[in-house]
Amino acid sequence: MTTVVRFGSWNLCNGGIDPGGNETRRKSQITIAAQLGDQAKDKDGNGGELDLLAVQELTHWDERGWWRLHELADSLGMVPLDPVTSHIGNGRNHLAVLYRPGRVRVLSCQDVGRGAFHHGLARAHLAVEGQEFTVLATHLAWSDGDTRLREARWMTDNAGTFPGQPPRAVLLGDLNCLAQQDPEPDWTAVPPNMHPRYRTVHADGTFGPADRRALRVLLNSGWTDPQTTVRHPRKATVGYWYKNEPTPLHLDHALTAGGFRPLTYLTHDTPEARAASDHLPITLTAAIGATA
């Protein structure tokens, strides 16, 4: 028997709320999120609904009992796990995981590494059709590669067998780290004040190549980039929003570990999605069990 699970992840860019309180983007994000399941359909047209959706940058969403989070969940027929609140920086950049009840069974969930992340890390022990797995959802620091590397080490245990954890896992989120497939950017096209975010910084303060250490330590620990196994390359998730960040890059990721078999791995690149956030949403469809 094969169990197919459909995942999504999206950084909503300040909760979809613009200066002055304009929530036009947030409202459009609800419509776009409902369409992400269409990418998750198999070759026979089955499926069409996400089982899990991780969302980042829920700025201001903690106001009035998280009503914006519940509005998104209700519109998708999903339920949010307890959101993870940001504890560093301005303390408003939260994240959450939504799941589809009746299909996904929640065995446990927790906020992991409280105070160790610029944003946060959620971990949930879930089951679909009796198949248990762990979902990690995070948003790694924007500031520098050293911080991202420290944060990534909180997620290496789940890359392999570990006492008390299911034998398989998925990691979803904005890792703020270039994919292995991304070519080295043309740094002359990026203002120097942005280089410390994404480049290796030597001891003398000079710059090296793109800092990919956070993703590399995850992959070297046993996580798998689905792009290495699926047939079609996915599109970049950033590089269209800011004039000072013009390079198309894959900063948003869905990694697998254990007995997951990736079937599709896609970036939802539409004019509507580009207008709704500075990151494009991604989806991963993966199978557990016998091969087709």
Least confident span in 53-62, 74-83, 109-118, 232-241:
109-118
- Residues of the chain above pLDDT 70, percent: 95
**What's the pLDDT score for residue 49?**
93
Q: What is the overall mean pLDDT for the chain?
A: 94
**What's the pLDDT score for residue 92?**
81
- Kindly indicate the confidence band of residue 116, based on its pLDDT and cuts at 50, 70 and 90: confident
The total number of structural domains that make up the chain? 1
Mean pLDDT on 138-143: 96
Mean pLDDT on 162-180: 95
The domain spanning residue 233 has which CATH number?
3.60.10.10
Q: Which tops the pLDDT comparison, 113 or 26?
A: 26
**What's the pLDDT score for residue 171?**
99
Q: Which tops the pLDDT comparison, 180 or 1?
A: 180
Per residue in 173-202, pLDDT (tens digit) is 999 999 999 999 999 999 999 999 999 999
Tokens representing residue 180 in the block: 């292995």
Tokens representing residue 57 in the block: 């940058």
Mean pLDDT on 19-46: 86
Mean pLDDT on 65-89: 93
Mean pLDDT on 68-75: 98
Residue 265 pLDDT > 70, yes or no? yes
Residue 292 pLDDT > 60, yes or no? no
Domain containing 172: what range?
2-289
Give yes or no for a contact between 265 and 39, defined as CB atoms under 8 angstroms apart: no
